[in-house]
Amino acid sequence: MRFIKLAIISVILIFLLFTAISLFIPSHIRISKATDISNTKEAVMDYISNPVKWKEWYPGADSLPLFFVDGKTKGIMLDSITKAALTITEKNDSSVIATNTGPGVKRQLVTGWKIIPGQNENMVTVQWYMDFKFRWYPWEKFSSLFYENIYGTEMEKGLANLKRVAESGRSSLN
């Protein structure tokens, strides 16, 4: 009986210790990557704001079906079983914001791209960011420590693909 009491108290104390440590980890994180692209703002914006063109550069999107709303392409289907999709929710002349939507989505993911003018009109910097918000749960907060390794490398791959596609499109036009 004493062993069981000691085990229960130990588990509770360890949980409280992990919870206290996790309170020092922020509830909101942003992963951001950027690259310079030698092309016009409009040409690069066309690749970012058009989900059909995501298949050319967005990692993994080449095999995903497009997501349609009222006959218009709004994003890509992430999971056909849960009906989760990455859809464009906001767009202006220098930024695009997309969120994962659908009935099976447990955690809202906001991803966006900003186009920053470069040194001349044929050079832009594209910043890709992902925002994550976490509840107070220790396992969510500790898992966020690995998001840079998981999502950061995919974002770098996507930006390299975007650079390659956008710059090759430019060179074929000139």
CATH code at position 96: 3.30.530.20
Average pLDDT over residues 99-120: 82
Q: Is residue 143 helix, strand or coil?
A: helix
Token look-up 């002349």 returns 93
Strands 95-101 and 72-79: unpaired
Structure confidence at residue 128 (pLDDT): 93
Confirm whether 13 is domain-assigned. no
Confirm whether 11 is domain-assigned. no
Q: What is the mean pLDDT of the chain?
A: 85
Confirm whether 157 is domain-assigned. yes
pLDDT top residue among 77 and 158:
158
Per-residue pLDDT for 46 more than 80?
Answer: yes
Query: 106 is written with which tokens?
Result: 């447990």
pTM: 0.80
pLDDT classification of 173: cutoffs 50, 70, 90: very low
Query: 64 is written with which tokens?
Result: 């995903």
Structure confidence at residue 32 (pLDDT): 94
Give the other-Cβ count within 10 Å of 133's Cβ. Answer: 14
Q: What is the pLDDT of residues 140-154, one digit of tens each?
A: 888 888 888 888 899
Structure confidence at residue 31 (pLDDT): 92
Give the other-Cβ count within 10 Å of 168's Cβ. Answer: 11
Contact present, 54 and 65 (Cβ < 8 Å) = no
Confirm whether 82 is domain-assigned. yes
Average pLDDT over residues 66-74: 84
Beta strands of 44-152 (E only): which ranges?
Answer: 66-69, 72-79, 84-91, 95-101, 110-117, 124-133
Q: What is the pLDDT of residues 113-141, one digit of tens each?
A: 999 988 888 889 999 999 988 888 888 88
DSSP-derived letter for residue 164 is H
Confirm whether 124 is domain-assigned. yes
Per-residue pLDDT for 163 more than 80?
Answer: yes
Give the chain's largest Cα–Cα span: 82
Q: Which domain holds residue 64?
A: 27-173
Lowest mean pLDDT among 29-33, 60-64, 88-92, 159-163: 60-64
Structural domain total, the chain? 1
DSSP-derived letter for residue 101 is E
Structure confidence at residue 156 (pLDDT): 93
Beta strands of the chain (E only): which ranges?
Answer: 28-37, 66-69, 72-79, 84-91, 95-101, 110-117, 124-133
Query: 89 is written with which tokens?
Result: 């929710």
Confirm whether 98 is domain-assigned. yes
Confirm whether 150 is domain-assigned. yes
Confirm whether 16 is domain-assigned. no
Structure confidence at residue 105 (pLDDT): 67
pLDDT classification of 12: cutoffs 50, 70, 90: very high
